[in-house]
Amino acid sequence: MELLSTMQESSIKRLLESEVAKVTGLDPSDLKTKSKTTRYPDRIRKQDNIEDKERDKSFEPSGLGSKILSVLLTYPYLSKEIEDLDNFSDFSQPEVHLMVEVASYFTDNPDNGISDLLSTLDKDSASFIGALISTHDPIDEKNAKEYLKDCLFNLRKSDSVTRIFELKEIFENGNLTEDETFELQQHLLSNIHKLEEPEKNLLKALSQKS
């Protein structure tokens, strides 16, 4: 990682592209063509068994999960900054699942590099990583940690169920701000069809408050 710290961003990008090309067999010039959404086999857990099932899901290169993934690919040591990876397990976006997989890998194998990571991934995932490296300019290292935190915060907020739980706890402590009240209302309304009675009462209380 010390080597990466002393390299220009364009040099880092070329180095990463080269590693991806070696593992995937793609020419570096072809990686950009993989920047569009990519279908991949989604892994479904049933009880104690894991089976592969083709789903009509695709990677979204502009999503928050992809932005986080781009940071981790450039600065793998920042993976240790993500302390709550399990909280992202229920997200449906494939790029978030891949982000979790990459973060877990670098956390468990801090001395390994991109080529080591890619050797553990399926070809579609490796190709998508190549696309990210080719199409995303590296974040400046001095800003990378703060950028990562912002992306993680916004990703958590995008998960309605988890965010409802967090905001509900703040509400019960009497510390909910006006903006948080509005946000909680929106999350509850977006899940109106599956709200239990306590959440319905909470929505009513918030409406009376506002």
The rounded average pLDDT for each run of 10 residues, N- to C-terminus, in the chain (210 residues) is 44 61 58 46 37 57 93 96 85 91 96 92 91 86 96 85 84 89 87 83 81
One domain for residues 180 and 143: no
One domain for residues 167 and 72: no
One domain for residues 25 and 125: yes
One domain for residues 18 and 44: yes
Q: What is the pLDDT of residue 25?
A: 58
Task: Report CA 105 to chain centroid distance, whole Å.
Answer: 14
One domain for residues 165 and 191: yes
One domain for residues 76 and 55: yes
One domain for residues 44 and 139: yes
- Residue in 4, 22, 171, 16 with CA at minimum distance from that of residue 78: 4
- Residue in 76, 81, 58, 95 with CA at minimum distance from that of residue 138: 76
Range of the domain at 82: 2-158
